[in-house]
Chains A and B, each alone.
Chain A
Amino acid sequence: MIPLSGDIGNAKGIVRENTGSFETHRGTSTLKRGFAHMLKNGVVMDVTTVEQAQIAEDAGAVAVMVLDKLPADVRKAGGVARTASIRIIEEIMDSITIPVMAKCRIGHVYEARVLAETDVDMIDESEVLTPADEFHHIWKWDFTTPFVNGARNLGEALRRIEEGAAMIRTKGEPGTGNVAEAVIHIKNVNSELRRIKSVYDSGDEQDLVSIARELKVSYSLVEDTASLGRLPVVNFAAGGISTPADAAYLMTLGCDGIFVGSGIFKSDDAKERAQAVVLATTFWEDPDKVKEAQKMVDERQSMLGLDTKNLELRMQERGSTA
């Protein structure tokens, strides 16, 4: 089981107050990471309009992620991609009952502040948008609102967790309709986790210290993660998922759930596809049910997709060295 504790001593995002006759705490790790735990085995869908958000909710999405443009359109449009219009985020929050997330630019502390004030349920500090700070991510402990971050390997994942991320997702290669990169990222994380677990089990602390240096994170976080044998927060797959079988495959690799970006609303059968991806994620262990889900979609309606080898823009590389 994943532990929920992990607060740093002076997390400014924790609010202590009196509510009537009770003393309450908001913004603790238990609440932020706990929120992510409630999403497990679910599908978070990228949306740009109220109509899409309603389709997502009706299909059984566990949350929606609001963007100005779907990642495939960001790729096409070029220019600078920023956080979505606040007015649209608010309209979506007022029209559905499931959690609403939104993306801010990497390192853009004030886009994140604005989203927190808007009261979104989770902020995605995302490589899909144009980074605002090449060298620093947001110090997420300062926020009461939880964050999710992308990662391609264990080092990135642990650095984001050390900055206060309450949830991790693979980066994949967004907007390509191609799961190949997400598969690589989750396998990278899994194999590095196996490595540090075996070092931990062998009792070789010196080797664990050198791993912490290599990953550029604190020894204590590496030690905790190694003892768990998994990331200390919920870990979803994201980037290029387009079909029910894509979602089910990533679940078999040990992901806790799925983000679908362009895959649904850049297809020509969005409604059926949204339902089918949810079904395949829920019942991923049952090939017959995944087949039924896959049957609900028509491959001729899938987004065309891109080969990830010759891309002009590799979104996954954004913020990866920080």
Chain B
Amino acid sequence: MTGVNIGILSIQGDVAENVSATRMAMDELGIEGVVSEVKNPEQISDLDGLVIPGGESTVIGTLSLVSGSLKKIKEKIASGMPVLGTCAGMILLSKKAKDRVVGEMEQPLLDHLDVKIERNAFGRQKDSFEADLSLEKIGISKFRGVFIRAPSVIDIGKDVEVLSRFNEKIVAIKQGNVIGTSFHPELTADLAVHKYFVTLVQKKN
């Protein structure tokens, strides 16, 4: 097969939006390849890159554990596959998560990003917001952040780069080839974050 093979984890959440954003980012950059919805370990093992969408992290985590996908994704990350996790996706990529109100959580995680996540860090849905951010380190000077019951990053290890902050809160990070955002780039018409990601996949490939 020519080109890159990018999968969108399609257990639950805004899968179609990520398929579309990834597809359009590849088209605009002239990168060849396929974008497909992936649900089971066999599909995941063939991937060059993976996007974990927004949704409920407890649901995506629990059902990925049941299907064996969680273990497969871990192996692929260990072998260097680039991953983009938005909102719930970033929570799943982390080592530790707690909820702002309920406290420490025992939920299935991918245990990769050396960070602690605070879930629902900005409050409940009424407090969900949009704001213009910048991700200068990856060459994006202005990006509309759509935060929906969003998490934030509260503790970071030494290998983790901070890509963006909203006031004092860390809202985008990168560790190796793995990127996590508190916000939903797939819900805006701006493809900059997805373009950065597919470029990463192409380089790795």
Contact = CB atoms under 8 A, between A and B. Distances in A.
Contact of A37 (B14, B62, B131): B14
B11 A94 contact: no
Interface in A232-289: 278-279, 282-283
Interface in A139-157: 144-146
Contacts of A23: 131-132
Given A34-B146, A42-B59, A99-B149, A25 B129 contact: yes
Nearest to B122: A19
30 contacts: A4-B187, A19-B131, A20-B166, A22-B166, A23-B131, A25-B131, A26-B130, A27-B126, A30-B187, A34-B146, A34-B184, A35-B148, A37-B14, A37-B187, A38-B54, A38-B148, A40-B16, A41-B11, A41-B15, A42-B55, A62-B56, A94-B101, A96-B102, A97-B105, A97-B120, A99-B124, A99-B125, A99-B149, A119-B126, A282-B63
B72 interface: no
Interface in A94-146: 94-99, 116, 119-122, 144-146
B112 interface: no
Main secondary structure of the interface of A (DSSP, over half): loop
A282 B148 contact: no
Interface string B118-157: 0110011111111110000000000000101100000000
Given A62-B12, A98-B58, 13 more contacts: A31-B128, A31-B130, A37-B187, A38-B13, A38-B88, A62-B55, A62-B56, A62-B59, A93-B124, A94-B101, A97-B102, A98-B59, A279-B66
Interface string A80-98: 0000000000000111111
A40 B12 contact: yes
Interface of B: 10-17, 20, 39, 54-56, 58-59, 62-63, 66-67, 87-88, 99, 101-102, 105, 119-120, 123-132, 146, 148-149, 166-168, 184, 187-188
Given A60-B63, A99-B125, A34 B20 contact: no
Interface residues of A, number: 47
Interface string A279-319: 10011000000000000000000000000000000000000
